[in-house]
Structure 1
Amino acid sequence: MTEQRKLTTYAPTALWPDGTTARPLPDGVVAQGDVERAAAAKDPPPVTEALLTRGRERFGVFCAPCHGLAGDGDGVIVAHGFPAPPSYHVDRLLAAPAQHFYDVITNGYGVMFSYADRVPPHDRWAIAAYIRALQLSRRTKVADVPDAAEHLR
């Protein structure tokens, strides 16, 4: 069985006129997947205090062990020899859209595995919003935040 003749994906072949083993999808094919989850990926919820609170809680559970509580990439796993993830405060991630963080949580990136089966779409957006709040906390002056002085007393 291990040494049988077979075609591998994208290998050239003379079997079909186009010369490839990958075949186009037939007309009318229906994609498999979760329509609601696909819609959630495109439509982030509005950023509210409740969303940020949920994001902070979920970040603490799923993200902080690697990224650290402040998002500096100094989580507890780094102390045990795991490669340090990037800080959320580097220019590349400061410029990244919130969709980037949602996609990384969904699909993984580098040595980070996918959390799609562990973190529902709404929570992914909550985490992405909280990451934005972490980033803003380092770059924003107190004078730029309405009513900040009252909240800091």
Structure 2
Amino acid sequence: MTTGARALLIAAMVVALVACDNLERQRKARDQAASDFFPNGQVQQAPPPGTVPRGAAAREAELRQRPALTAELLQRGQDRYQVYCTPCHGLAGDGHGTVVARGFPAPPDFTEPRLRAAPEGYFVNVISNGYGQMYSYAARVAPVDRWAIAAYIRALQLSRHAPVGQLPAEDRQALEHAP
């Protein structure tokens, strides 16, 4: 390396170090602090009207399209149901979850006639937006998982009201010999 190149490299390093120091002392605003930049004097500003969060359009498109009913979708629905729904709704969907046992209001039983007649999109909407005491799970549950949970809720409803004649012979025998 030549003396000129070495001197240029050292000068570039000194400029970089000085620039880093400027970043440390730059003027900045903290959340919830006062600001003389905005007319209302606040640092945090509401987004402009009509602003759409990044990825929101894609998530909305996923919600509009129900995925195909497969064994994998039901398995995923069972998994996500057990993570997010059982604390309140219980494993059987009867509304007797652990938080209900500790004094929280009981959610409805999924086998109520009103809920058995509801389309799957109703459950997706409730997961997305909340209903009654239930808050929105939109930030926690991906759109495809909402459909999976709705499909699993349908399976729970069917399992608790399946006619015995539609069961396989081995399941009917197990029921007949159950205590």
Selected match of 1:94 from 116, 122, 125? 116
Return the alpha-carbon distance in structure 1 between the equivalents of residues 90 and 80 of structure 2: 13
Aligned residues: 123
- Is the 8 Å Cα contact of residues 142 and 149 (structure 1) preserved in structure 2? no
Partner of 2:89: 67
Partner of 1:5: none
Selected match of 1:32 from 24, 27, 52? 52
Matches within 5 A, 1:117-136: 117-136=139-158
TM-score by length of 2: 0.64
Unaligned runs of at least 5 residues, structure 2: 1-48, 175-179
TM-score by length of 1: 0.74
Percent identity for Structure 1 against Structure 2: 54
Does residue 50 (structure 1) correspond to residue 72 (structure 2)? The answer is yes
Return the alpha-carbon distance in structure 2 between the equivalents of residues 135 and 90 of structure 1: 9
Q: CA deviation at 1:50?
A: 0.3
Find the structure with the greater CA-based Rg.
2
Return the alpha-carbon distance in structure 2 between the equivalents of residues 82 and 140 of structure 1: 30
Deviations 1:11-65 (A, max 9, x none): xxxxxxxxxxxxxx9xxxx662512111111111011000000000100000000
Letter in 2 for 1:38: E
Superposed CA RMSD in Å reads 1.9
Return the alpha-carbon distance in structure 1 between the equivalents of residues 169 and 137 of structure 2: 38
Selected match of 1:137 from 124, 134, 159? 159
Return the alpha-carbon distance in structure 1 between the equivalents of residues 160 and 169 of structure 2: 16
Q: CA deviation at 1:139?
A: 1.7
| Structure 1 stretches of at least 4 aligned residues deviating more than 4 Å after TM superposition | 150-153
Return the alpha-carbon distance in structure 2 between the equivalents of residues 97 and 31 of structure 1: 31
Q: Which has the higher helix share?
A: 2
Deviations 1:76-101 (A, max 9, x none): 00111100000001011000000000
Tell me, what secondary structure is at the counterpart of 1:111? coil
Letter in 2 for 1:37: R
